[in-house]
Amino acid sequence: MTQQEAPTLTLVNWTSAREGCEDCEYAVLEIDLKFTLYLLKLIGVAEVFKGISEGFHRVSYFVSGPDYYKSWDDPFLGNDDISDEAYNELEEAIEQGEWVIMPASYKRENPTRVETETLGVDEHSVIFKAYQKHCDAQFETYPLLKPRLAEIAGLLMTADAKAKACASQGRESRVVTLDKPGDTQGS
């Protein structure tokens, strides 16, 4: 029996990478429920630290997060799968620093090589930081806020529940068919 893959969402965000690190201007994060809940737990820990000391600002962890690219829209160029209006909405949201959920068909390959990836966590958000390979400047994403992470967790939990329900229905149908070979009502 093969184990079902956990549902994921692909998020895109603009980074602070500029001159000299242009190949890392956009972060693409493939996120599943487990990683989303992990990020929310870290924010919860940061809330405790902030409650202990007002001097708390942010804690950093060595965590690999997004892949980084020079542009976000390569999969859409010359592609009729997305309308001009939808494309413009995505572009505007990304340029405003939002973490945008991309269509399921959105796939990227060959990310820019980065090093020293860290995750900054405070009581409100997480940010991903890195250095482009052979580049001196560190860059970071815009904050991924706690309410947005909670929204993403809800979407992933719903997708996971639907996937499990479909898988369960498929097994029940096969069982009925195997138990009653002449009965076609269970199929």
Q: Which of 170, 161, 126 is nearest to 7 (CA)?
A: 161
Please state, in angstroms and rounded to a whole number, the distance separating the CA atoms of residues 100 and 102.
6
pLDDT of residue 169: 64
The CA–CA distances, whole Å, from 147 to 22, 50, 110, 143 equal 30, 18, 31, 11
Q: Is the pTM of this model over 0.85?
A: no
Could you read off the pLDDT of 96-137 as tens digits, one per residue?
A: 999 999 988 888 889 999 999 999 999 999 999 999 888 888
**Strand order in 100-101's β-sheet?**
67-69, 26-32, 8-14, 100-101
pLDDT band at 168 (very low <50, low <70, confident <90, very high): low
Q: Please determine, for residue 73, whether its predicted confidence score (pLDDT) is greater than 90.
A: no
Average pLDDT, integer, range 17-24: 83
pLDDT of residue 134: 83
pLDDT band at 4 (very low <50, low <70, confident <90, very high): low
